[in-house]
Structure 1
Amino acid sequence: MVAFGKKLRESQIQEWKGQYINYKLMKKKVKGYVEQIEVGAQNRHNVLRDFSRMLDTQIEKIVLFLLEQQGLLAHRLSDIAQQHHALVQPQNNLLNVYHLQELYREVGRDLLKLVFFVEMNAIGLRKILKKFDKRFGYKFTDYYVKTRANHPYSQLRQVFRHVGIGAVLGVLSHNIADLRDLQQCQGHYISIYDQPSYSHPDPVLDSIKLAVERLSNSTTFLQFLGRHAFIMQEELPSPSEDHVEDESQRYNFMSLLLNLANTFLYMVNTYIIVPTADNYSLSLGAAATVCGIVIGSMAMAQIFSSVYFSAWSNRSYRRPLLISSIVLLVGNILYALAYDLNSISVLLIGRLFCGLGSARAVNRRYISDCVPSKLRMQASAGFVSASALGMACGPALASLLQTNFRIYKFTMNQETLPGWVMALAWLVYLLWLWICFKEPPHHEKGNLEAYQADTVQVIHVAVDTQPLIMNSEATEQDEVREEEENDGSEEVQKPVTSIVAAYRLLTPSVKVQLFIYFMLKYAMEIVLAESSVITSYYFVWSTSSVAIFLACLGLTVLPVNIVVGSYISNIFEERQVLLASEIMVCIGLILSFHVFIPYSVLQYVGSALITFVSAEVLEGVNLSLLSRMMSSRLSRGTFNGGLLSTEAGTLARVVADATITMSGYLGESNLLNATLVPALVISVSSIVATCYTYNSLY
């Protein structure tokens, strides 16, 4: 398998080769520092000072070259502008208009090359900081970012957030639109500043805009929403035509639709029982707080099924989806039959079966492996939207099932109907899946591993990539061997094969982000899972009222992501939004406590809304940071980053549901505070951990 470093070297612009960060030199320096410290020839203070000076020199070289190239582009634009101004009269030859448009596009293509140059250097900077931290105890990035990135004359910011590129892009967009208006409006001048709707799409400009957004980490609603899926996106220039053709062969719209439908139904299945789980437990002779175990048993089984289905999707997608649907069909039937059998055991077994049928790992893998790069963000956003809608529709559907009748020997009431309805839904889905799902070609041949070896080159590389600049005299074989012989910090681009190997790739910053993900899922589960018990005890809410409340919480997901993705994430840094969201989750939990004053609906609903919405905001930025910091070896394969985040979130739900059940032994009057205490402790711990690693989140 070809190392990813070769792809990066091939992507370099040869005439600019000497202007890139000299990653190989710096890597050797780091290795030398380690050896010198081990024999006592150097101390850490001198190492930090020496390496900082070297890194400053490298960044200064990049920035000065960047400014020089921008000046050349500005000079070319000035020359073209003189010809442009002569075309304001409609009688001028339109051939000159076409000629000027092409001149502007040529500048645009060179600007795109410059953006890629900056992007690759940004990748190299992140990587060398990560490597240094791994060798020297995770202290250098914190020191370097604090002293350099936060300085008013920071050159580091010029690499990661350069506004000059945006200025050149603005000139190109304005003038190309003017030339098109000159053609189409027959001399009636319309400026894009006066009429933004008259701005015309252009392939070159669109490519530049996407690259600038990626470089500056700016987002749109679609991008921000898609990040919730934690499907790592490609960040380097577009893949080769052969790879694009291969992707197109594997893509089938109906199969993607079935994949998203599976996601939607599973989330409906998860939350449709939440409003009635406490009453169902009571009807079977158990305590109302046993609803925690009833709800959590599904998540408990999902911990194991996620690994199994992720491994199975190495060979097939259709078969695991079929088996998943069958298991969910059986699980829901058992859940519904538990009422007539008067068995809490059957109830729990039914929910365990539902958890064993979780195919969310397959859903993620299908989007990551089979959807073309240009559609992957939309598909990721569809995955998240389907999950959010399912989360809202589950309780809403439960509110409509308020009836009581019998069919033959089977009782149909608000407790059993969720099981029967979902069983019918999975039966219909199973038939649709059997008829319409198309297995991707490489799965049909049973050769996915070979496919992954070929395509793993185009995975997300924002953090962990191979050297950018190598000695020109060295052969590629020597370079690859050097990368493979490294002590593990330089990773060959191949998936890991065990959970232990995956864990070893996690830096402290990544571990903190996974802990934050655990925290937010724990807080959300506490709010959702105990809602029926809490509202019944304090406010005597009916099942319909609880269901409507939960549905309204679920419906906040998309609007919140619109606001954060389109506005907040473009105004503040992700780490700032991350920390602020954690603090808001903590505030929401504190406001939820029942202390001395009577507990009111306003206090409960307000605090739950603050906690839930803040956790939603936190999830987007948390997964975005994770995708940038996590090793690229965790982008594909069975033990991928998506699986790790799923396991962390699922474990959080299991622990939260178990906490609810155990707290039930203290009595319903103490349930609220007893469950909020561990949630608050975890929340405060995540804030402390974030502050500790804050400067490494750059």
Structure 2
Amino acid sequence: MVAFGKKLRQSQIQEWKGYYINYKLMKKKVKRYTQQIQVETEDRQFVLKDFSRLLDSQIEKIVLFLLEQQGLLASRLSKLREQYDVLIQQPDETKISELQELYREIGRELLRLLFFVEMNAIGLRKILKKFDKRFGYKFTDYYVKTRANHPYSELRQVFKHVGLGAVVGAISRNLADLQDFQGHHGSYISIYDQPAFSHPDPVVHSIKSAVEGLSNSTNFLNFLGRHAFVMQEELPTPSEDQDDGQRYHFMSLLLNLANTFLYMVNTYIIVPTADDYSLTLGAAATVCGVVIGSMAVAQVFSSVYFSEWSNRSYMRPLIFSSVVLLLGNTLYALAYDLNSIAVLLIGRLLCGLGSARAVNRRYISDCVPLKLRMQASAGFVSASALGMACGPALACLFQTNFKIYKLTFNQETLPGWIMALAWLIYLLWLWISFREPPPHQTKENVVPQEVNYSGQIVNAAVENGYTQPLLTSSEAKQDNEDDDGDEDCDDAEEDPAEIQKPVNSIVSAYRLLTPSVKVQLFIYFMLKYAMEILLAESSVITGYYFIWSNSSVAIFLACLGLTVVPVNIIVGNYISNIFEERQVLLASEIMVCIGIVLSFHILTPYTVPQYVGSALITFVSAEVLEGVNLSLLSRVMSSRLSRGTYNGGLLSTEAGTLARVIADGTITLSGYLGQSKLLNTTLVPALFICVSSIIATCFTYNSLY
């Protein structure tokens, strides 16, 4: 991993070099401030004032250049418009093609400008994070709060690309009109009547992707894919994409997603019947919390060793996972005839030890090309959601009771037998069809090309001569030499040799967590805790208050699971494009809190509409919160956590798994107070954690800009 300062220097468009954020200067300023305060030659008030002025001047330089370039592009578009008007009156196929190419040239220039804006936005975020870390201030909070919402805000020009939309619209509309006129002779009135043009120009597609990344606008596919939290470098290099292309194999990806689906089915298929199974084996109904949670307990450990194992292989850990899950489900089913709650718990623990979700994520991150990674991430999330819905749905079909020899097949044991068979079939399919990808090649001394926010390499501008050569060897050497010898360790104040290495322990990873990242992980913990309380105790609560059958509980849980995709369609296509992500984050937390409050049983009789309505609010809000939370987490988390065993994906998985373990333990412990008090007793800690997360979000709200 190359430090950001070096990436910025290497990736600069040479003729625009003087207009980029002077990251090196500001980094030195921060270091000098630290030394001056330590020897008490300057007070903190002066430091804050001086650094604010420096940052303002840097942003003004960027914004004025941006406006100048927008004007030049607008002038060229205006001249092309005159040619367009003449051409429409006297159509000529050759001239139409020439005009299209001229629009594409401007589009490629716009891509360079978008990349320029994105590089500066990343630099600003990083220097603010560095200042906060050195001084222990909430400078980012102050700076964003005073600048972002001001009527003359220059900060919004950098982070929200104000004004570029008109240029994007002009290029997109005219290229689409020319394409339609050339191919169909005006089959529709305008692009506004056909916003989803069937064959968009490649340049327009690249511009659209870059703009979506800059503005954090999104669509259903992107929003859904964010739930996967597949970590990647901020600025991937061309060799990464080429290497990924060699490692990519569609059937292997499909098997990877099938593993995700089956594991989620395996997790939730027992939820409707776990309380009855516990009663059958002589335990209390609320022991279902331990039965369900034992899988999560084992997953806390399995996530680490599977993440480590995936550094060397993908097929072997998937085979191991399948074998362990096959054995675990067999023991779960046999516990009935053996009349042993211990065998039941051992079976579920083995199922947790077979959790290969860390491998599933790493395969997508390491082996799927950048252009397909978001689709693969969305597939990962969809497979998880479908498995979550299918698990309880399958459980409601097992309303039978028969014996073969001494083995009993009923609603308690059939989930185990069915899943054992499913994992056996999957194991055979895996053995026959999975292709182990070649090992990663070391990516060193690679000069990055221009990359847009979506991770797609902008080769078009290079191919057409619109960029100057990057730094020569002598220039790079000179530029890399800091006057004070300060190395560019952006993410941590560490030895410069260490900054390029992946994190090698949980402790090292924890040291890289800023307050914003810790809050985001806490929010993830909260939403997983609330969801697990809702799902794991559903069979006990509905049985006590409403006398629901196992089939009714299964249908209810399946319906909750099926809300995942439509909710993400609404939020991804509409809500997240109207409001900022941090606004959606806070609103979703408040809605989860409202859902929890509405779930309490106080005085009046507990009714089905109250339970179902509050459960729906809690679950849907938590789903929305998960996507937004992980999206923000990927932005504020250190880039050192994008690779290696102890990556950001592992940290979020551990936070979520720990939440499930504690939630399931809470259910079992609360059961000792009696089923009549179970609901309120489990909701109290959920409410406390939710309120705490809202307060923590308010304290770090402006750092999420």
Query: TM-score range, shorter-chain basis?
Result: over 0.9
Give me the whole-angstrom Cα distance separating, in 1, the residues matched to 2:125 and 2:309: 34
Give me the whole-angstrom Cα distance separating, in 2, the residues matched to 1:53 and 1:461: 29
Q: Is the counterpart of residue 501 in structure 1 residue 508 in structure 2? A: yes
Residues 196 and 586 of structure 1: is their aligned pair in 2 closer, same or farther, counting only changes over 3 Å? closer
Give me the whole-angstrom Cα distance separating, in 1, the residues matched to 2:450 and 2:170: 33
Give me the whole-angstrom Cα distance separating, in 1, the residues matched to 2:144 and 2:311: 40
- Which position in structure 1 is the counterpart of 2:638? 631
- Which position in structure 1 is the counterpart of 2:212? 213
Give me the whole-angstrom Cα distance separating, in 1, the residues matched to 2:593 and 2:2: 47
Residues 199 and 176 of structure 1: is their aligned pair in 2 closer, same or farther, counting only changes over 3 Å? farther
Give me the whole-angstrom Cα distance separating, in 1, the residues matched to 2:486 and 2:270: 55
In the TM superposition, 1:196-211 aligns within 5 A as 196=195, 198=197, 200-211=199-210
| 3-state SS, counterpart of residue 405 of structure 1 | strand
Q: Is the counterpart of residue 492 in structure 1 residue 503 in structure 2? A: no
Give me the whole-angstrom Cα distance separating, in 1, the residues matched to 2:89 and 2:495: 62
- Which position in structure 2 is the counterpart of 1:17? 17
**Stretch moving more, 2-11 or 362-371:** 2-11
In the TM superposition, 1:375-524 aligns within 5 A as 375-442=372-439, 448=440, 450-451=441-442, 475=478, 478=481, 482-483=487-488, 487-488=493-494, 492-524=499-531
Shift of 1:457: 7.9
Q: Is the counterpart of residue 113 in structure 1 residue 116 in structure 2? A: no
**Stretch moving more, 605-614 or 6-15:** 6-15
Question: CA offsets per residue over residues 446-488 of structure 1, 9 Å max, x none?
Answer: xx4x5476899899998xxxxx999958536646982259823
Shift of 1:195: 3.7
Shift of 1:211: 0.6
Paired amino acid for 2:408: T
Question: CA offsets per residue over residues 346-371 of structure 1, 9 Å max, x none?
Answer: 00000000000000000000000000
Shift of 1:429: 0.2
Assess if the C-alpha contact under 8 Å between 2:118 and 2:452 holds in 1.
no
Assess if the C-alpha contact under 8 Å between 1:182 and 1:189 holds in 2.
no
Residues 693 and 562 of structure 1: is their aligned pair in 2 closer, same or farther, counting only changes over 3 Å? same
Give me the whole-angstrom Cα distance separating, in 2, the residues matched to 1:189 and 1:328: 56
Give me the whole-angstrom Cα distance separating, in 2, the residues matched to 1:591 and 1:661: 22
Could you tell me which of 245, 248, 251 is aligned with 1:251?
248
| 3-state SS, counterpart of residue 411 of structure 1 | strand
**Stretch moving more, 161-170 or 256-265:** 161-170
Assess if the C-alpha contact under 8 Å between 2:247 and 2:438 holds in 1.
yes
- Which position in structure 1 is the counterpart of 2:133? 134
In the TM superposition, 1:287-366 aligns within 5 A as 287-366=284-363
Shift of 1:44: 1.7
Q: Is the counterpart of residue 267 in structure 1 residue 264 in structure 2? A: yes
Question: CA offsets per residue over residues 36-59 of structure 1, 9 Å max, x none?
Answer: 111112222221111111111110
- Which position in structure 2 is the counterpart of 1:465? none
Give me the whole-angstrom Cα distance separating, in 1, the residues matched to 2:391 and 2:137: 44
Paired amino acid for 2:95: N
Give the gaps of 5 or more residues in structure 1.
443-447, 463-467
Shift of 1:650: 0.2
Give me the whole-angstrom Cα distance separating, in 1, the residues matched to 2:604 and 2:305: 49
Assess if the C-alpha contact under 8 Å between 1:392 and 1:550 holds in 2.
yes
Assess if the C-alpha contact under 8 Å between 1:299 and 1:651 holds in 2.
yes
- Which position in structure 2 is the counterpart of 1:37? 37
- Which position in structure 2 is the counterpart of 1:445? none
Give me the whole-angstrom Cα distance separating, in 2, the residues matched to 1:459 and 1:197: 27
- Which position in structure 1 is the counterpart of 2:606? 599
Q: Is the counterpart of residue 146 in structure 1 residue 145 in structure 2? A: yes
**Stretch moving more, 4-13 or 406-415:** 4-13
| 3-state SS, counterpart of residue 475 of structure 1 | helix
Shift of 1:308: 0.4
**Stretch moving more, 163-172 or 511-520:** 163-172
Shift of 1:11: 1.7
Q: Is the counterpart of residue 286 in structure 1 residue 283 in structure 2? A: yes
Backbone CA RMSD of aligned residues: 2.4
Residues 22 and 334 of structure 1: is their aligned pair in 2 closer, same or farther, counting only changes over 3 Å? same
Give me the whole-angstrom Cα distance separating, in 2, the residues matched to 1:340 and 1:179: 73
The sequence identity of aligned pairs, in percent, is: 77
TM-score by length of 2: 0.93
Shift of 1:97: 1.0
Paired amino acid for 1:14: Q
Residues 489 and 558 of structure 1: is their aligned pair in 2 closer, same or farther, counting only changes over 3 Å? farther
Shift of 1:638: 0.4
Residues 344 and 194 of structure 1: is their aligned pair in 2 closer, same or farther, counting only changes over 3 Å? closer
Shift of 1:197: 5.1
Shift of 1:196: 3.5
| 3-state SS, counterpart of residue 440 of structure 1 | coil
Assess if the C-alpha contact under 8 Å between 2:11 and 2:450 holds in 1.
no
| 3-state SS, counterpart of residue 400 of structure 1 | coil
TM-score by length of 1: 0.94
Shift of 1:131: 0.5
Assess if the C-alpha contact under 8 Å between 1:233 and 1:460 holds in 2.
no
Question: CA offsets per residue over residues 365-385 of structure 1, 9 Å max, x none?
Answer: 000000000000000000000
Residues 280 and 459 of structure 1: is their aligned pair in 2 closer, same or farther, counting only changes over 3 Å? farther
| 3-state SS, counterpart of residue 193 of structure 2 | coil
Assess if the C-alpha contact under 8 Å between 2:10 and 2:448 holds in 1.
no
Give me the whole-angstrom Cα distance separating, in 2, the residues matched to 1:134 and 1:489: 16
Give me the whole-angstrom Cα distance separating, in 1, the residues matched to 2:175 and 2:45: 53
| 3-state SS, counterpart of residue 87 of structure 2 | coil
Residues 387 and 604 of structure 1: is their aligned pair in 2 closer, same or farther, counting only changes over 3 Å? same
Shift of 1:176: 1.2
Residues 458 and 379 of structure 1: is their aligned pair in 2 closer, same or farther, counting only changes over 3 Å? farther
- Which position in structure 1 is the counterpart of 2:103? 104
| 3-state SS, counterpart of residue 488 of structure 2 | helix
- Which position in structure 1 is the counterpart of 2:666? 659
Shift of 1:233: 4.6
| 3-state SS, counterpart of residue 587 of structure 2 | helix
Give me the whole-angstrom Cα distance separating, in 2, the residues matched to 1:530 and 1:71: 61
Shift of 1:428: 0.2
In the TM superposition, 1:531-680 aligns within 5 A as 531-680=538-687
Give me the whole-angstrom Cα distance separating, in 2, the residues matched to 1:357 and 1:52: 52
Give me the whole-angstrom Cα distance separating, in 1, the residues matched to 2:649 and 2:637: 11
Count of residue correspondences: 685
| 3-state SS, counterpart of residue 196 of structure 1 | coil
